């Protein structure tokens, strides 16, 4: 006896659209002080040879705000502390 396969297709709920993930891009440049080849994320560099680093505003895209940091404390650490006079 052979069993027939069911032609029934389950009803599937559509998946929600995925969030657009912004991932950092690894970029390379030359150190402005010692000319070593350096790599950074999104145009933000720090040289391991001489210690030079470019300003944070020189990156290729804006930095996320503090509210986007999942590790940021969300409570007031001084709450309940009385002012010393």
| DSSP code at position 53 | B
Low-confidence ranges of the chain (pLDDT < 70): 1-2, 74-85
* pLDDT confidence of residue 45: 97
Kindly report the number of other CB atoms within 10 A of residue 43's CB atom. Answer: 14
What are 22-29's contacts with CB under 8 Å, separation 24+? 22/61, 25/60, 27/60
H-helix or E-strand spanning residue 40: strand 37-41
* pLDDT confidence of residue 65: 82
This prediction has a pTM of: 0.54
Question: What is the DSSP code string of 26-39?
Answer: EEEEE-TTT--EEE
């Amino acid at each position: 006896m052979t069993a027939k396969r069911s032609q029934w297709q389950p009803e599937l709920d559509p998946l929600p659209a995925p969030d657009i993930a912004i991932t950092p891009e690894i970029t390379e440049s030359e150190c402005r002080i010692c000319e070593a080849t350096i790599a950074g994320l999104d145009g933000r560099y720090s040289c391991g040879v001489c210690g030079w680093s470019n300003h944070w505003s020189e990156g290729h895209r804006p930095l996320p705000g503090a509210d986007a940091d999942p590790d940021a404390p969300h409570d007031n650490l001084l709450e309940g502390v009385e002012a010393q006079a």
